[in-house]
Amino acid sequence: MLDFIYYPVSAILWFWHSAFGFVFGPASGLSWVLAVIFLVLTLRAALFIPFLEQARNQAIVKKLQPKVASLKQKYASDRTRQATELQKLYKDNGVKTFATLIPIIVQLFVFLGLFHVLRSFDRTANLGHLPFQAIKTPMSPEQNATTPNYVFSAADVRSFLHADLFGAPLSRTVIGAGDPLATVAAVAIPLMLIAAVATHFTARASLGRQETPAQFAFMRPLSLWAFPAAALVGGALLPVAILLYFVTNNAWTLAQQHLVYRKLDAEAAAEAKLVAATRAATAPKPGAKPVRRRK
């Protein structure tokens, strides 16, 4: 159903695995680890401009809050007129309402695509008891080893199933690890902690620049604590390869957020300096007589 997502995602993953496989060998676990990491970096780099526009929109919306509050008070009894005036205010100031949703939607589809592609390397019943891991028609290990996975050949499938990070198979989860539980946990738990910490600090930086309406105040503790906790607890259900995705994605978000906010602060400071200089240049000098315009 989502093949238009699965094939491009698997193609990018295949490209990076082939590139790193040329250096480290296609059967190397490092080739697969770097392929997952660079898949994330490739897609997030492509989304940098939309993220920058999203941040600029948020900055403009924050700056317009006094006018928004005034319009809401002025047209409190006329919701239709209020919505029209707010839409006009945003349009006049260059706010693109739906632009803020693009990075979120794309990242959601990318995650679904990557999750499905990585899960499809193992179509046996090994993970069938875990949430979101059930396979409608499980294959035998022999069938799975000879079945391609989107753009990946059967040889690539076998290579992934044998790939590991510090001894932890990339296709295994903490809960469904079986015999190598200690090894998988030793790799997965630090990844889960890093993902949770990055999620917390990303939310803290974002909320620090936003004015949360009273009706959405409950989102603050959720963003700061509940979502990082969910990343920590839910990580036990995710394969090591997916945890690599989360760590890379969250680390990128945190670093990107810092750079973008610093850029926006510099732009705002430069704009304020320009406005102040313009006012100083056009203001009448002390003691000067006002110039009367001729009719």
Q: Is residue 89 part of a domain?
A: no
**More confident position, 241 or 62:** 241
pLDDT for 189-203, tens place per residue? 999 999 899 888 888
Contact 192, 243 (CB under 8 A): yes
Mean pLDDT of the chain: 83
Q: Is residue 283 part of a domain?
A: no
Q: Which residues pair with 149 in a beta bridge?
A: 152
Q: Please, which residues have CB within 8 angstroms of residue 20's CB and are 6 or more apart in sequence?
A: 28, 30, 31, 34, 35, 38
Q: What is the dihedral of CA 116, 117, 121, 127, to 10 degrees?
A: -20
Q: Is residue 41 part of a domain?
A: no
Contact 191, 240 (CB under 8 A): yes
* The amino acid at 154: A
Q: Is residue 92 part of a domain?
A: no
DSSP structure string for 106-140:
HHHHHHHHHHHHHHTT--SSTTTTSTT---SSPPP
Domain range enclosing 258 = 163-263
Other C-beta atoms lying within 10 Å of the C-beta of residue 131 = 9
pLDDT at 129 (0 to 100): 43
Report the alpha-carbon distance of residue 122 to residue 115 in Å, rounded: 12
Q: What length is written for the chain?
A: 295
Q: Does residue 178 have a pLDDT over 50?
A: yes
Q: How many domains does the chain have?
A: 1
Q: Is residue 25 part of a domain?
A: no
Q: Is residue 221 part of a domain?
A: yes
Q: Is residue 208 part of a domain?
A: yes
**Which tokens go with 54?**
């999203």
Q: Is residue 61 part of a domain?
A: no
pLDDT for 233-286, tens place per residue? 888 888 899 999 989 998 998 899 888 888 888 888 888 888 777 877 777 766
pLDDT for 204-221, tens place per residue? 877 766 665 554 566 777
Q: How far is CA 61 from the centre of its chain?
A: 21
pLDDT at 154 (0 to 100): 94
